[in-house]
Amino acid sequence: MIGRLNHIAIAVPDLEAAAAQYRDTLGADVGPPQDEPDHGVTVIFITLPNTKVELLYPLGDNSPIRGFLDKNPSGGIHHMCYEVDDILAARDKLQATGARVLGDGSPKIGAHGKPVLFLHPKDFNGCLIELEEV
């Protein structure tokens, strides 16, 4: 059901410093900041030859990333995103096996302009999983 790894998301306490580290120290292709108000985050994508890294920073006081950074002030891996061909079919199959989809179960449009869903980390070895339709 899942396809390739689309990205690994890292919550960071300083978006500009993290972007500079990837760009200047590691020599990576770092994109511009992008506000995602529906998700409460500002993101920067780092393009690698085989996947992407997504830097996450809180957008607003109610951002879910703010709570994550309160618990992890230095930042850390927030989630992994896998591609799926049909997000509704994937959701239905996962729910049929007992996996919990966060929110109301309806896909939202993600940072790449494609439908996404998040799966409860307690159902996946403590890892928040994002599914993105390709």
Query: Which positions are catalytic?
Result: 130
H or E element, residue 93: helix 87-96
The pair of three-digit structure tokens given for residue 9, joined into one six-digit string: 């998301």
Which amino acid is located at 27 in the chain? G
Neighbours of 77 (CB within 10 A): 13
Q: Using alpha carbons, select from 113, 30, 4, 50 the residue that is nearest to residue 12.
A: 30
